[in-house]
Chain A
Amino acid sequence: MTVIHERESNPAAGDADRPIGYGRIQRKEDPRFVRGKGHYLDDIVLPGMLHGAVLRAPVAHARLVSIDTTNALAHPKVHAVITGKDLEGLKLAWAPTLSADVQAVLVTDKVRFQGQEVAFVVAEDRYAARDALELIDVEYDVLPPLVDARRALDADAPLIRDEMEGRTDNRIFDWEMGDAAETDAVFAGADVVVSQEMVYPRVHPAPMETCGAVADFDPVDGKLTLYETTQAPHAHRTLFAIVAGIPEHKIRIVSPDIGGGFGNKVGIYPGYILAVVGSIVTGRPVKWMEDRSENLMSTSFARDYIMQGEIAATKDGKILALRTNVLADHGAFNATAQPTKNPAGFFSIFTGSYDLQAAHCKVTGVYTNKAPGGVAYACSFRVTEAVYLVERMVDVLARKLEMDPAELRLKNFIKPEQFPYANKTGWVYDSGNYEAAMRRSMELAGYEELRREQQEKRAKGELMGIGLSFFTEVVGAGPRKHFDIVGLGMADGAELRVHPTGKAVVRLSVQSQGQGHETTFAQIVAEELGIPPENIDVVHGDTDQTPFGLGTYGSRSTPVSGGAVALVARKVREKAKLIAAAMLETRPEDLEWEKGRWFVKGDPTAGKTIEDIAMAAHGTLTLPEGVDGNLDAEVTYDPPNLTFPFGAYICVVDVDPGTGRVLVRRFIAVDDCGTRINPMIIEGQVHGGLTDGVGMALMEIIEFDADGNNLGGSFMDYLIPTAMEVPDWETGFTVTPSPHHPIGAKGIGESATVGSPPAIVNAVVDALAPFGVTHMDMPCTPARVWAAMQGRATPPI
């Protein structure tokens, strides 16, 4: 059947301009956003609503001596002032984290990081709440802070978690993957071994909308409605049931439009709990919305890995093995949001895209006097750190071997015929064609021509750099037997109802923070059922309205919930088949599907569209035995494996030799996310991630001074790229569908954030090659680049 014939015979399939199913269509959510009618957390106003504000610690490490709230309580507009002592009475002073630790909701004994929550004021309006913070008198007994993770395990290091019985040091965990002995043996026999220490500095996801909550506790029926900036409404409901002791059926979590998440809105922050307590205490709804400094100083940061990498190879460039020792700074509480069995997330995918004989990693997590968190900022559970390590190490090796970094990568890729490929740390890569993606990006970039240009420029003393990175992502957690968060298996539900007139509603557990779920998931249903996307409503973000599932992070929405949606649509399709057979008075096995209708094999004129079938399902037709009178279905999808998107990135930079300023002149990104549902949305996801990469590589960092002061506590200091620092992105793609995924999709949300930083740093290091520079740590600010040119590069921490 040719495409033209299909369009003529089946208008439901749409066309290239207006596909019913996959293809570029405008986003269904956009009309409200461009009119300013998005409905974000701070837009929520409930009758009688009060406003909360958090008093935060001005120092990083201090004993709490006393809190006097008398003056604050005397403020005419203040309704309540809550302290750690009050919470102790409610058994809410400490809350469990997502990593089997506890976190103070309000300080009871000791401040453990600057910006930690000390007291909560509830007042008539937000101005009064802010004013009252100044009226609380707190006395601190300042202790020496620990902000350098390298010192965390020293015998004389300040003990951060002295409240934990029997604890004598700041070690959280030691975790290993791969075979140490096997790896050592390969290293011992290798021609070439190079090592490099590298720091992935602490950065912050900093979504444009900060975090907040509106808690509305109804004292009569005991029901809590909690509006939250959350990426994981269902997981939060269960956790609130555990933390607050409110029965789970009496909790409704609503996640409205979210102004960006990037992993910042996965955890449960003290402010959310305090809003709930405030509502219970005052009997009125309470809104808490953090300001930007609170967001940057107290909510989930990302990275903060100090990595010692070693790579072994033959002298002709066959990479044999990789090993690494990592010091992971988790801050004052271990509150990373990641699967339970993976204390370093998916870092063990640091073997990257290469066919190795051996690999080993050891990660040591430590407490410091810094904000908790660590897994955020589109990191795919620490794949960012893993990809940075391996892609920098490959470049360090290329320099050592005097090989072109593209050639070295091409020589060592896992070959298409090796998939499914079991790597040395326990992952089974589902599919890939790395060489094709690499060659496509080199072709788009004009790689050979760029190298020639670089030679000419170098001859003139100009500093031009070309950086490559090739990444393999691991997303879509996950098979529930292997992956859970606080015991909740990482499977996702989906419910689909086709109304009598053939319009549909699909209900999902994941929550968009800008990824366009209302469009993408409607397109998946459209592709499977032939119902136009505009006739499919996507409901999400409300636990009373949607099936259970773990939420949107780790690029898991399309791999997990996308699979669920495809399967639930197929379930409806199969049910429609039974009903169509009854309508056509034939046997189901005699029917054939084309997008939007079932018809009799060999007689395309005898068929019933999904609309006809929906009406019949709800109508008077005598339904076959065992078929209910509706066209609905529900599923829970438990993925058989994770998915492994990949991509090849090339970055071209120019460095000003006199000032160290870096200009990202070009960036070429070829991504393979398997089946492509909406190319426009995919491109948008890639562009955003590439910009994150420029941010981390060139400017973003949360630093601390020796006194424990956070030096990145506002947008004056925490710099995020503007339109002036990024180029006009050049994107391309290859398509290698996932063999195990219902629609072959792999996820794209974090690929570019994961893959771009090493390409940019590799480009800067390449530009500085005439100065003998083989490595420099992020961020490549003018001052740091200049220091590297002088041979004085120092790690940022």
Chain B
Amino acid sequence: MQIPAPFDYVRATTVEDALELLARHGPESRIIAGGHSLLPMMKLRLSRPEWLIDINDLFELDFILRDGEDLRIGALTRHTTLLESDEVHRLFPIVRDAELVIADPVVRNRGTIGGSLCQADPAEDLSTVCAVLGAIAVVRGPGGERTLSMHDFHRGPYQTAVGPDELLCEVRLPIRARSASAYEKVERRVGDWAVGAAGASVTLAEDGSIADAAVGLTALGLDHTVEEAAGLLRGKRPSEELFADAGRLAAEACDPVADQRGPVDYKRHLADELTRRVLRRACARAAGHPDQPATPTQEG
């Protein structure tokens, strides 16, 4: 069995303690929470931190609470907690859509939202979810707290704006009336990384037109939301033609690479197809319609 190279281990007791430990042990130290991205890399010895700082005791980072117009989610909140939260589902149905297809139920018991966002894997689903929801990341470091939009937080594949001496503490999701969202992923098998996925969030105006929208893609070579699609959608009434146009824009905007999961043309097609689907579902949800049975999927 594969085994990590030796390292030292310390448990942080508070956020301040974690920051102090990061400062003391320097860039060769790594935060560990769920560990389901970091430990496999360490076993392959692709990652060889000298210190692991375990933040699993930081209960202060494990919360979901509504604070005015924001839903605040602690960085240590497990995927399972997000999946099972009815309040999160009511406000942001995209979260349950995505969480249902993130890894598998056992991994979801350990993995955290903070870990997922900081790993910034291009095939990671919550980055897209947070991007389309307009999430704000709350990061703490020696200089205090700063907030970042997902656009600023996400710096590209496996790169974020969180410095080596900083800790992602919280994600804030703005709550908007007449809004809904949806996510759909194509994977080769349950638990596999995405071949491609799309997420959308829409806010409807009183008259049923789209007041605001965001479309994001996962594993399709686009770090940020599809601005062109958002621009197209704003002010228009939801329709199949509109979704198709948005899908086309998503396909044009994406820049996927061929791999075992599929060739470029297929992935580009998925950007189109899945964008239509998530917009259709998000708009229907925002208008208060129950979900239609999706086209045949394994999740049935």
A interface vs B, CB < 8 Å? 126-127, 130-131, 134, 289, 291, 293, 654-661, 663, 665, 698-699, 703, 711, 716-717, 719, 721-722, 724-725, 781-783, 786-787, 790
Contacts and interface: CB of A to CB of B under 8 A. Distances in A.
Interface stretch (B27-35, B143-151, B263-271, B281-289): B263-271
Nearest to A128: B3
A718 to B, nearest CB: 10
Contacts of A703: 260
Given A291-B1, A291-B2, A722-B189, 4 more contacts: A127-B3, A657-B295, A722-B190, A724-B190
A661 B298 contact: yes
A722 B191 contact: yes
Contacts of B296: 654-656, 661, 663, 665
Contacts of B188: 699, 719, 781-782
Contacts, number: 80
B244 to A, nearest CB: 12
B261 A130 contact: no
A786 B297 contact: no
B42 interface: no
Contacts of A289: 1
Interface string B157-195: 000000000000000000000000000001011111101
B189 A725 contact: yes
Contacts of B260: 703, 711, 717
B8 to A, nearest CB: 15
Closest 9 CB pairs of A and B: A783-B262, A654-B296, A724-B190, A783-B266, A658-B273, A719-B189, A656-B295, A663-B296, A130-B3
B5 interface: yes
A281 B266 CA distance: 55
Contacts of B78: none
Interface in B245-300: 260-263, 265-267, 269-270, 273-274, 277, 295-300
B48 to A, nearest CB: 10
A126 B3 CA distance: 9
Interface residues of B, number: 33
A314 B252 CA distance: 51
B194 to A, nearest CB: 11
A790 B269 CA distance: 11
B45 interface: yes
A654 to B, nearest CB: 4
Interface string B108-137: 000000000000000000000000000000
A783 B295 contact: no
A488 to B, nearest CB: 34
Nearest to B266: A783
A724 B267 CA distance: 23
A573 to B, nearest CB: 49
A665 B297 CA distance: 10
A787 B266 contact: yes
27 contacts: A126-B1, A126-B3, A130-B3, A131-B5, A291-B1, A655-B296, A656-B296, A657-B295, A658-B295, A661-B298, A663-B297, A663-B298, A711-B260, A717-B260, A719-B188, A722-B189, A724-B190, A724-B298, A725-B189, A725-B298, A782-B188, A782-B262, A783-B195, A783-B267, A786-B266, A786-B269, A787-B263
Most buried by A among B6, B191, B260: B260
Nearest to A655: B296
Nearest to B43: A291
A722 B187 CA distance: 13
Most buried by A among B1, B193, B277, B300: B1
Contacts of B192: 716, 719
Contacts of A127: 3
B122 to A, nearest CB: 15
A551 B22 CA distance: 57
Nearest to A790: B265
Of A293, A722, A782, A790, the most chain B CB neighbours within 10 A belong to A782
Given A291-B2, A703-B260, A661 B189 contact: no
Contacts of B3: 126-127, 130-131
A220 B269 CA distance: 69
Contacts of A698: 189
Contacts of A663: 296-298, 300
Give the one of A654, A659, A661 with max B CB within 10 A.
Answer: A659
A292 to B, nearest CB: 8
Interface in B181-225: 186, 188-193, 195
| Most chain B CB atoms below 10 A, which of A130, A131, A654, A790 | A130
Contacts of A717: 260
A717 B1 CA distance: 17
Nearest to B296: A654
A787 B277 CA distance: 20
Nearest to B276: A658
B189 A783 contact: no
Given A126-B3, A719-B189, A719-B192, A783 B297 contact: no
Nearest to A658: B273
Contacts of B298: 661, 663, 724-725
Nearest to A782: B186
Contacts of B193: 716
A785 to B, nearest CB: 10
A782 B185 CA distance: 12
Contact of A783 (B190, B261, B274): B261
A134 B44 CA distance: 12
Nearest to B190: A724
Contacts of B277: 658
Given A656-B296, A661-B297, A783-B263, A721 B189 contact: yes
Given A131-B5, A719-B188, A782-B186, A724 B263 contact: no
Contact of A781 (B1, B2, B262, B267): B262
B195 A782 contact: yes
Given A782-B186, A782-B262, A724 B5 contact: no
A293 B45 CA distance: 14
Nearest to B299: A724
Nearest to B298: A724
Interface in B1-17: 1-3, 5-6
Nearest to A657: B295
Nearest to B259: A711
Nearest to B262: A783
A278 B122 CA distance: 44
A781 B191 CA distance: 15
A659 B5 CA distance: 41
Contacts of A781: 188, 261-262
Given A782-B188, A786-B266, A659 B273 contact: yes
A134 B297 CA distance: 44
A711 B188 CA distance: 15
B139 to A, nearest CB: 30
Scoring A127, A289, A781 by chain B CB atoms within 10 A of each residue's CB, the highest score goes to A781
A657 B45 CA distance: 41
Contacts of B300: 663
A660 B190 CA distance: 15
Nearest to B261: A783
A326 to B, nearest CB: 26
B186 A661 contact: yes
A664 to B, nearest CB: 9
Contacts of A724: 189-190, 298-299
Nearest to B260: A711
Contact of A656 (B2, B104, B269, B297): B297
> Which of A661, A665, A716 counts the most B-chain CB atoms under 10 A from its CB?
A661
A716 B40 CA distance: 11
A725 B265 CA distance: 25
Contacts of B262: 781-783, 786
B157 to A, nearest CB: 17
Nearest to A134: B45
Interface string B95-116: 0000000001000000000000
B210 to A, nearest CB: 22
Nearest to B1: A291
